[in-house]
Every structure is written in C-alpha cells, then in structure tokens.
Homo-oligomer: A and B are copies of this chain.
Amino acid sequence: MDNLEEILSLDNNGKHVNAAKGSTLQTAGAQSNRAFYVKKGLLRSYTIDSKGKEHIFMFASEGWLIADIESQEFEQAAELFIDCLENSELIIFNRSCFKIANLSVPQLKKNAHLLARRTAVLQRRVIMLMSASAQERYQHFLETFPKLPNRVPQRMIASYLGVTPQALSTIRGRLAKKS
C-alpha cells in the first residue's frame, strides 16, 4: 500500500469535500491549519506582501498535498492563502492528522517521503531563484510542470517565477521569435 490517499485516510479523519473554482480554503493570519489533498482539480498557495502583491508559493494538482508547513511546524498563524483555481475534489485533514506523535508506521514512512520530495523541490527552487535569470526559471518551469501552462493564467506563472506578467510576456515573445 503506497497510495497517499489510502495511507492518509487510514484513520478516517479526512473529510471529503467539493470546492468551487475561486473559493478560498485558507486565509493568511487565521489559525486554521489544515492540509488539502487534491483528488481532482487545482489549488494554489500564495502570500500577499506588504505592498499588496501576490506571490504564488506552489500549485497543487491531482495527487498533491498542499499545506502551510511553516506555520504548522512553528505553530504560528497561517502565512499562506490557499484557494481553488478549478472546481476541485479535496480531502481535508486537520493538524492532528499530521502530528508526528500520532502517526502509524506506514503513515510516518509516507510522510517522510512526502517531506523529502517537497524539500527537494524547494531546494531546487531556492537555487533557481538565486542563480538563474527569469528566462531560465521560466524554461525550467516548463520542463518541470509541462501541463500547468494550459491550466493556469500567464500572470500566475509569472507570480510563481517571481517576475511581473509584463516581463514574462516579453520573455515568451523572445523565445517564440528564436524558434
């Protein structure tokens, strides 16, 4: 048994829900610390900075788990907003489901794999943000998430990459001309 959905559902704590495109699941500042497993659809998590600008932290499509790990680990108010980019089917887990002390051995193992995978993705993201140009980051994004561009507006990809929509548009124009 290595299906995430099965493993997480072992204790039947997850609540199955449908969420409409545009609905908000978590608001920064609130105390609600839940995790969302995406059975179908697409979510995003993001911050809003002091100037009111959105910065997308991650996208989560089918089979992904999205949560504000930082707030949960340090027991702080949420820093991330989470909302639906498509009508989605979710399983919602509350904090206690992920309390390491409470987990069974298969859950612990699955959890360790999930975290390791996530850490690996973040390691790459940090390195890209520090060392690569906007164009390189865009090309890396296309390679890593080839299906997302069809489902996500340009401006959100720009937000994920850490550039403005205008800059991304210019980059795309440059790449199109080149080929």
Spell out A's residues near B (CB within 8 Å): 47, 49, 53, 55, 57, 68-70, 72-74, 79, 100-101, 103, 105, 108-109, 111-113, 115-127, 129-132, 162
Contacts and interface: CB of A to CB of B under 8 A. Distances in A.
A49 B131 contact: yes
Given A57-B123, A105-B105, A130-B162, 10 more contacts: A57-B126, A70-B119, A74-B120, A100-B113, A108-B108, A108-B112, A119-B122, A122-B122, A122-B123, A125-B126
Contacts of A49: 131-132
Contact of A119 (B69, B103, B109, B130): B69
A22 to B, nearest CB: 23
Contacts of A117: 73
A69 B120 contact: yes
Nearest to A109: B100
By Cβ-Cβ distance, the 6 closest A-B pairs, closest first, are A115-B115, A122-B122, A70-B120, A73-B120, A49-B131, A70-B123
